[in-house]
Amino acid sequence: MSAHCQLTGAQPGFGNAISHSHRRTSRRFDPNIQRKRYWLPSEGRYVRLRLSAKAIKTVDTIGVEAAVARIRARGVKV
């Protein structure tokens, strides 16, 4: 699976690497994706999510229940 955040939908961006001589070659900017396990009290189980570093901070703010609800609203299976 590609570098893709389940909560924010962040995915790789594309651009050019520019050398000292100013030659351009294609490159890819990947989001900082981490696998993190959260306890989901409503279901009595752990869920393992692939989140960007920014999304991990969002989960800390809004809570895991709201985050999982947002992920499911995007149509991603948890």
Per residue in 23-34, pLDDT (tens digit) is 999 999 999 999
| Per-residue buried b or exposed e for 17-50, using 16+ beta carbons within 10 Å of the residue's own CB | eeeeeeeeeeeeeebebeeeebeeeeeeeebebb
Task: State the pTM of this model.
Answer: 0.86
Q: Please give the structure tokens belonging to residue 75.
A: 């149509």
> In this model, does residue 74 exceed pLDDT 70?
yes
> In this model, does residue 1 exceed pLDDT 80?
no
Q: Using an 8 Å Cβ cutoff, are 63 and 40 in contact? A: no
Whole-angstrom CA distances from 70 to 20, 29, 65, 78 are 44, 25, 9, 11
Whole-angstrom CA distances from 71 to 9, 24, 56 are 9, 37, 13
